[in-house]
Amino acid sequence: MSAAIKIQDLNKSYGDLQALTDINLKIEKGEFFGLLGPNGAGKSTLIKILGGLADKDSGQVSILGTDIDKNHCQAKRSLGIVPQELIIDPYFNPKETLKLQSGYFGIQDNDEKINEILTAMDLHDKANAYARNLSGGMKRRLLIAKALIHDPDIIVLDEPTAGVDVELRNNLWNYIRQLNNEGKTIILTTHYLKEAEALCDRIAIMDQGHIVAVDTKEKLINSIDKKLVEIKLKEEINQLPKAFSNYKVEINEEVGKITFELSKKEIEDFIRQLYKSEIQIKDIDISSAKLEDVFLKLTNLGGKDN
């Protein structure tokens, strides 16, 4: 069975700048896949190559088994790409925009589908408003609607929720999740790591044109040997008992909170010490590493190169 996306030895440069270096990546059908990385990592370039909006220097890319060099039209039909840039024709209203977009794919008489998508994107009451009068968040949702109108098997969302407010963002994710449950492959780039953590099954982290990690969300998070233990104290203390001197600790006197950073091995010992100590505890909270910790460890944002 062919993968949704298969990328082999892909390279892309802009003049002297190597934007993508030896990218190899396979995304299976039906995955909710996250493509993460700091600004300039190469995510949009990769997406543009998938959509035929940028030429690669070398390598192979196939979409549902179709090589984009051999049959780009067919490959393109399988994809619905929501670009990062808010480019919308200002002279058409959302309904006309979606009709026009359907026409590019030879689809006619799809008013029902258009209405369904406009409703899902909470744009039904703006269906006949000029696109130039839409807010930034509405334009972004119209771009999403445009990408979905030809019912593609693979939906690529490049920063789809930038500028979209929280409630609508939740509606949008519910709709995208539903599409994923129906079997669509979703590829998402976002700077909202919490969103990626909540939504994606597998994640690739890119940095400076390279893929530096690709794995399930759980495995990536488990690769960080860190637990955060937050303790709220009943009473203020000036100094922690000696038994805690080996642990990395942060004291926030203002809110009477002590935060320890522990490896998984240290936890048992720590709890024993806590029990023995004279510290009066009001509340305790233990949390595992987050996707953000993985991201910071693996990319230049976390000072990896310093």
**Which stretches of the chain bind ligand ATP, using CB under 6 A?**
14, 17, 19, 37, 39-45, 84
127-158 burial, b for 16+ CB within 10 Å, e for fewer? beeebeebeebbbbbbbbbbbbbbbbbbbbbb
Q: Which residues contact 261 (CB under 8 A, 6 or more apart)?
A: 226, 227, 228, 247, 248, 249, 250
Of the pair 86, 249, the CB lying nearest ligand ATP is at 86
Alpha carbons 64 and 79: distance in angstroms, whole number: 10
Residue for token pair 């100094």: 239
Q: How far is the CB of 42 from ligand ATP (least distance, A)?
A: 4
If you count them, how many residues does the chain have?
306
DSSP H helices in 34-71: 43-50
Measured from the CB of residue 11, what is the shortest distance to ligand ATP in angstroms? 13
Angle at the Cα of 56 (from 162 to 144), degrees rounded to 5?
Answer: 25
Q: Which is nearer to ligand ATP, 94 or 209 (CB)?
A: 209
Nearest CB to ligand ATP, comparing residues 37 and 137: 37
Residue 18 CB, nearest approach to ligand ATP (Å): 9
Q: How far is the CB of 139 from ligand ATP (least distance, A)?
A: 17
> Is 23 or 262 the residue whose CB approaches ligand ATP more closely?
23
Instruction: Tell the smallest beta-carbon distance from residue 158 to ligand ATP (Å).
Output: 7
Computed from CA positions of residues 215, 216, 221, 223, in that sequence, does the dihedral angle turn out positive or negative?
negative
CB of 152 to ligand ATP, least distance (A): 21
43 vs 56 by CB, closer to ligand ATP: 43
C-alpha to C-alpha distance for 8 and 76, rounded to whole angstroms:
18
Closest to ligand ATP by CB, 37 vs 160, is 37
DSSP category for residue 300: G
